[in-house]
Structure 1
Amino acid sequence: MPVFLKKLLFWGFVAFLIYFMAFRPDGAAQLFKGIGAALMAIAQGLGDFLTGLMS
């Protein structure tokens, strides 16, 4: 993928996030809460897996 296209997509994504947070703050908060919960579930599952390997 050309560098210009990567930069364009990145800045477009950043602009969308800013727009989303400015005009839909409740929706943005729920989205980030969901992402955080998913990351915590993944970390917990990985921790349980490693604990199971060690015992």
Structure 2
Amino acid sequence: MISIQYSETFPVITHLNGTDHLAAYDIQVNASQSCSDDDQSQFALENRLISLYGIL
């Protein structure tokens, strides 16, 4: 899973759906999910997303 800090000038969706060399071409982001900043919550959310959608 790619971890990218949110930026008003360069949001995560732009990064992942972009057409430049920084983009990931095999996925499309349709929504984003927020969780708390602690590692345990982020890990639990990543596991739920992987269970739902496969390897991220």
Instruction: Please give the TM-score of this superposition, normalised by the length of structure 1.
Output: 0.35
Q: Which has the higher contact order (CA 8 A, sep 6+)?
A: 2
Larger Rg: 1
With structure 2 as the length reference, what TM-score do the two structures score? Answer: 0.34
Higher helix share: 1
